[in-house]
Structures are given as C-alpha cells and as structure tokens.
Amino acid sequence: MKLSARNALKGKIESVHKGAVTTTVKVAVGGGDHITSSITNEAAEELDLKIGDDVTAIIKSSDVIIGK
C-alpha cells in the first residue's frame, strides 16, 4: 500500500464499535497511548477489523486512516 501520508503509527486494535453509519476503532500504539478513528461501516467490513489485529494508524491532516 502506497500513501502520501507520512505519519504512520503501528498498533493493535483494542476495540471496534459499529454504529448506524460509522465504526469507531481504538488502536493501542504503545506506551499506554491510543489512537481512535471513526471510519465508515463499509470500510470496517472490507478491512475485516477485529480486536487484536495488527494495523497501522495513518494520520493525514485531521483524519486518521486505518490500513491493514
């Protein structure tokens, strides 16, 4: 996967909460720190996100994108 974003934090999914339109994903990135991202339900389903998955939180401007 190639992206223009330069800020990428590797981590592990701690929680996945599906709402009516969006899914909130909490990622532990080390040192007790977390990144929380709100993504579309469709994206969460396509990525098949599960607790314990190794992912990368990619930060571009004010958005956090999850890549797996």
Least confident residue range of 6-10, 48-52, 53-57: 6-10
Question: Does residue 59 lie in a domain region?
Answer: yes
Question: Does residue 19 lie in a domain region?
Answer: yes
Q: What is the domain-level CATH number for residue 45?
A: 2.40.50.100
Domain tally, the chain: 1
Question: Does residue 57 lie in a domain region?
Answer: yes
Question: Does residue 42 lie in a domain region?
Answer: yes
Please tell me what DSSP assigns to residue 48: T
The pTM assigned to this predicted structure is: 0.81
Encode pLDDT of 10-46 as tens digits. Answer: 999 999 999 999 999 999 999 999 999 999 999 999 9
Q: Say whether pLDDT at 59 is over 90.
A: no
Q: What is the pLDDT of residue 62?
A: 66
Its domain, for residue 23, covers 7-67
Question: Does residue 24 lie in a domain region?
Answer: yes
Q: Say whether pLDDT at 3 is over 90.
A: no
Identify the burial level of 42 via C-beta atoms within 10 angstroms of its C-beta, where 0-12 means exposed, 13-18 middle and 19 or more buried.
Answer: exposed
